[in-house]
Structure 1
Amino acid sequence: MRKVSHLRETLGYDEVVLRGAGPAEEQLRRAAPDGIDVLLDTVGGEQLRGRGGAGRAGLLARGDPQGDVAGLSLYDHSDLPREWMGEFGRGLRDGSLTFPHTRLRGLDRAPRALCELTRGCHTGAVPVEV
């Protein structure tokens, strides 16, 4: 899949768990049979729920059923958005960060943008300029 190739080849991800490519727990166990130290999840969903969730599955695979699973949210760090925006802007300007996106112009194109985004036709964000 295009998204998986982009994440692995361009961004250097080791493994990718993709919604719709099978049960998340099975994908996680295949991707990390020895457990998971850090999981970057930008969406949430079945992979974070219950005993079979990513964190719990990773702890059990390492033989550590008492370990901690914790989430991190920007809302826990209200002092950071200003700093992040500065760093993000600097990275975009100097080229050390990229922000893949496809810009569509016109509110009439919003339904198309949503359909194409959910079908995986684009990499990154799909802003609609009105």
Structure 2
Amino acid sequence: MHKDDDEAFADNYAERDQAKALREQARAGGLQFEAFLPTSLADWLLERIERGMFASPAEAVFAIFTEARELEPHRDLRDEVLRRMIDAARANLESALPHDEAMAELREEMARPRPEPARWQR
């Protein structure tokens, strides 16, 4: 995918325009947004808050975004992390379901009613 490929980025023109429109205001006052975490990430985050690693989801977002920004110029480290993630995913492939079974399980999961997500209150 190339950044100039219209088809590759056709689904997020509105988001890109919104980012451009908000840039100056965000530079002056920051950016506030809502995020949805799927169950596994929500559990991961809440467990870390319970242990005192973060005081709130907002603090975790701040810390994780700061870490990502600081790692950005270190391509070699980012590549190593990605390589390890790929290696771990490959190791898990041995226990993965066959495609047809995985798709059937996914369709069943998507058909189930979803409970209301939990909301963190400040």
**TM-score of the two chains, using structure 2 as the length reference:** 0.29
Q: Which has the higher helix share?
A: 2
Higher Cα Rg: structure 1 or 2?
A: 2
**TM-score of the two chains, using structure 1 as the length reference:** 0.27
More RCO (CA 8 Å, sep 6+): 1
